[in-house]
Amino acid sequence: MIKHHSNHVQMKKILSFQIVILAIGLQVFSIACTQQEVVQGPGTVTKKVFGKLPDSSVADIYTLINHSGITLKVTNYGGRITSLIVPDKNGKSDDIVLGFDSLSGYLAANPYFGAIVGRYGNRIAKGKFEIDGNKYTLAQNNGVNQLHGGIKGFDKVIWKAEDFKSEKSVGVKLSYLSHDGEEGYPGNLSAVVSYTLTDDNQLIFDYSATSDKATPINLTQHSYFNLAGKGDNKSHDVMISASKYTVVDSTLIPTGELRDVKGTPFDFTVAKPIGKDLVATGGNPIGYDHNYVLDTKGIKDLAVRVVEPLSGRIMEVYTDQPGVQFYTGNFLDGTITGKYGIVYNQHSGFCFETQHFPDSPNQPTFPSTILKPGETYHTTTIYKFSAK
């Protein structure tokens, strides 16, 4: 009898333990389901690990979803936009930016897919400039010139990231301290870039920075777009509100001349397909890679409009910057395989990099790009998406 009673008590204890475990499991499952509902709905920002860098630092990826059907993915490695999923005129969604499925693609050699570029977007001749009699030599990574900030520019660093949201928008705020002497630039530069995705399908880039020494700065965003989702970009109709462009030499450094676009293959004042005058540009390789001098007077004026006829997708660009670099993916050569197994051939995508002019630190007639101590650099660019 004693043995039987002991077994009975033990069985009750086991049963009670199992009930407790089951209850805990159901609670965890309920919480997980609730979290999943929260993170996957519109008007949300979620974060997860994207991968590790060779130095063991961790890159995260943020997914932003608005209430109008757009999903944006951004990693704090280089502030890169890895995905932008946008509906077409029939409600069918496609990813309209070039990039990679994983961090490893961005760690390998690639043409700045989706990145923040800086300190100085575009080129500085021979990697040299002078401020107040002080001469500076930069890292040279584009022949004898510097391109997009040097060997390890802002596109190849981990930014501190913080997500935010409001009633009608979601976003990510990225911060980075570039130390005095980094890639040859003077001054400790504190940079902040915010990406805001609104419910009316605007993607807003706010850039700001301060420095304790005078330094050139020209931050921009280097996403490659294809509004069809795949294929080449030649059928996209483009309008650029610019009556002049900066003439460049054989190394793509401005000569200082601002030339009228009228009567040239570079005229986009009236919308035309990218492919219409592509060969006539005479570039090597063929295509557009030019800074347009905008006629706009501020952020409210339309700077660029792109229409992809089959999907009906439209991208509009608004900026307070004086120029925009129109680049048609001329150097893509089929050696890179990106997301979804797509091979990126020449002219697979296009960029509109809002900016000050290339080589401005060495061009006294161009608008100044020098940020001085006590000043705050601030600029805003908006990409607006629609379909019809």
How do residues 72-123 score in pLDDT, each as one tens digit? 999 999 999 999 999 999 999 999 999 999 999 999 999 999 999 999 999 9
* Given the residues 183, 347, 353, 356, the one annotated as active site: 353
Q: According to CATH, what is the number of the domain 45-387?
A: 2.70.98.10
Please, what is the average pLDDT of the chain? 91
Of the pLDDT bands very low, low, confident and very high (cuts 50, 70, 90), residue 42 is confident
User: Is 353 assigned a catalytic role?
Assistant: yes
The string of pLDDT tens digits covering residues 147-204 is 999 999 999 999 999 999 999 999 999 999 999 999 999 999 999 999 999 999 999 9
User: Is 162 assigned a catalytic role?
Assistant: no
Report pLDDT for 40: 58
Mean pLDDT of 332-360: 97
302: CB partners within 8 A, 6+ apart: 241, 296, 316, 317, 318
What residue has token string 């008007």?
Answer: 43
Of the pLDDT bands very low, low, confident and very high (cuts 50, 70, 90), residue 283 is confident
DSSP three-state, residue 209: strand
Would the pLDDT of 2 be above 90? no
Report pLDDT for 387: 97
Would the pLDDT of 27 be above 50? no
Would the pLDDT of 366 be above 80? yes
* Given the residues 148, 222, 290, 356, the one annotated as active site: 222
Percent over 90 (pLDDT), the chain:
88
